[in-house]
Amino acid sequence: MNIVLTGPPGAGKGTQAEMIAASYKILHISTGDMFREAVEKGTDMGRKAGEFMKAGQLVPDDVTIGIVAERLAQPDCEQGFLLDGFPRTIKQAEALDDILTGLSQTLHAVINIAVPDEVLIERMTGRLTCSGCKTIYHRTFQPPQVEGVCDKCGSSLQQRGDDTAVDTAKNRLAVYKKQTNPLLEYYKQKNLLVNVNGQRSKDEVFAEIRQNLEAIQ
């Protein structure tokens, strides 16, 4: 099964992606995670992408499309994949159609997690991520058992660079509305769009996603 997970920043894409990938045994491909890894490693691409991320802007389409095309061509994607945070522009969506045609693959669903703006800012600014296994927590909504320590692997928890300032979080939201929101209409036209209410517990959101995926399989 090949799925796109979309929605505004802080909607819970990464949180749900972990659960979907584990449950359906498909690959979780997050362009945000790929860029953050490149930033940590200090590669040329990471330095370039990092500037855009710090400002809450999108990394240019040519760079993003290039890394996704390369990743989807790997043999492990044949078992099915879940794209988290890609596509984010109409140009990226059209490029994805071409990439998949070239690989004789298709998309089976585009899941949109909808959450109101005021909740999103609170989710982003309170988020903590494990420095080791990348599990996502929240200071209030999803706290670890021991403060600052990952329940799963014991590594330290850290705050993402683009989550520290409310202004950057607001900017990411504005960028989403302008550049990514039009994708909902694009995928609605293709009969692939599934809207999910993301303003509930993560288990309730997952149950709704699962229900929709069962109908597709």
Active site residues: 13, 88, 127, 160, 172
Of residues 162 and 213, the one with the C-beta less far from ligand AP5: 162
Q: Interface with ligand AP5 includes 127 (CB under 6 A)?
A: yes
Contacts (CB under 6 A) with ligand AP5, residues 77-106: 85-86, 88, 92
Asked if residue 28 binds ligand AP5 (CB under 6 A), the reply is: no
Residue 49 or 150 having the CB closest to Zn ion: 150
136 belongs to the binding site for ligand AP5 (CB under 6 A):
yes
Select from 102, 132, 148, 182 the one that contacts Zn ion (CB under 5 A).
Answer: 132
Binding test (CB under 6 A) with ligand AP5, winner from 2, 3, 4, 13: 13
Q: Which option in ligand AP5, Zn ion, Mg ion, none does residue 127 bind, with CB closer than 5 to 8 A by kind?
A: ligand AP5
Q: What is the CA radius of gyration of the chain?
A: 17
Q: Does 134 bind ligand AP5 (CB under 6 A)?
A: no
Pairing of strands 81-84, 136-138: unpaired
User: Quick one: which segment of 20-28, 98-106, 138-146, 186-194 binds ligand AP5 (CB under 6 A)?
Assistant: 138-146
Say how far apart CA 112 and CA 4 lie, in whole Å: 8
What is the distance between the alpha carbons of residues 175 and 156, in angstroms, rounded to a whole number? 30
Residue 14 binding Mg ion, by CB under 5 A? yes
Say how far residue 30 (Cα) sits from the centre of its chain.
5
Contact set with Mg ion (CB under 5 A): 13-14
Contact set with Zn ion (CB under 5 A): 130, 132-133, 135, 150, 152-153, 155
